[in-house]
Amino acid sequence: MHTSLENLFYFRTWIQLTLQQKWRQKAGILSCLITEDAMHGHPEELGSLVEVLKSGMVTSDSGHQYKLQSDAKCDTMGTLWRILGVNNGAQRVFGEATGFSLLLTTLRSFQGDGHSEEPFLLVYIKVFTYILRLMTAGVCGNTINRTKLHAIISSHTFYDLLSESGLLCVDYEKQVIRLLLEPAQKFFSKAYCFEFITRFP
């Protein structure tokens, strides 16, 4: 039989998994609504997605906060990049909501985990891939956003965080370089960029 502490642990784990699933469903619904209504930027809805990714936390109906797991983060980033690919107003809102600072926030979260070995690096490179795809979607055909992203990538802070993430290792350095080159391709048209990022699962 399980002890009361074990039962509490299982119950909290079940709540957290349920909450993660509900959040992913909510993000998917928001994606459908915003994609269908491409005439508006939906700053409140997009802002909420960005803030959840920045904090890394989701709040239950009862007010309890739980850490957003890596798969849920990737799903949320995927939701955002699909929105940005079809909604020009959403691109503007994303830039104004300091969405590009998510790149630094994501790298800082790797430090907070305190791990730099396998299998943690497998998780980190997956999340890093998703965040770079999101950055690419945010700059496609948008000069202002490209300038904002350039300021972040060219900063010492970005260099330091990337160096300390453990991703610049033999196994992943080529993938990191390729990902960083994608948003730098100035010849990307809006249509090509959207087709490019939607090829990625």
First vs last Cα of the chain: how many Å apart? Answer: 42
Q: How many domains does the chain have?
A: 1
User: How much of the chain exceeds pLDDT 70, in percent?
Assistant: 65
The pLDDT of residue 163: 92
Distances (CA, A) of 179 to 34, 45, 66, 185, 194: 27, 27, 30, 11, 16
pLDDT band at 151 (very low <50, low <70, confident <90, very high): very high
pLDDT greater than 50 at residue 148: yes
Q: Which stretch of DSSP H or E encloses residue 136?
A: helix 120-139
- Give the model's pLDDT for residue 159: 94
Contact, 67 vs 57, CB < 8 A?
yes
Its domain, for residue 42, covers: 4-198
Residue 68 clears pLDDT 50, i.e. is over it: yes
Task: Report the alpha-carbon angle 81-36-136, nearest 5.
Answer: 15
Q: Where are the beta strands (DSSP E) in 11-147?
A: 57-59, 65-67
Cα–Cα distance measured from residue 170 to residue 110, given in angstroms and rounded to the nearest whole number: 18
pTM of the model: 0.77
Place 55 in a pLDDT band, splitting at 50, 70 and 90. confident
**Cα–Cα dist 163/116, whole Å:** 11
pLDDT, tens digit (0-9, with 9 covering 90-100), for 98-129: 899 999 999 999 886 655 556 788 999 999 99
* Distance from C-alpha of 116 to C-alpha of 121, rounded to nearest angstrom: 6
**pLDDT value, residue 6:** 42
Longest dimension (CA), the chain: 63
pLDDT (tens digit per residue) in 157-194 = 999 999 999 899 898 999 999 888 877 765 455 555 55
Alpha carbon dihedral 98, 124, 161, 136, in 10-degree steps, equals -40
Contact 95, 144 (CB under 8 A): yes
Residue 31 predicted with pLDDT over 70: no
- Residue-level pLDDT at 67: 81
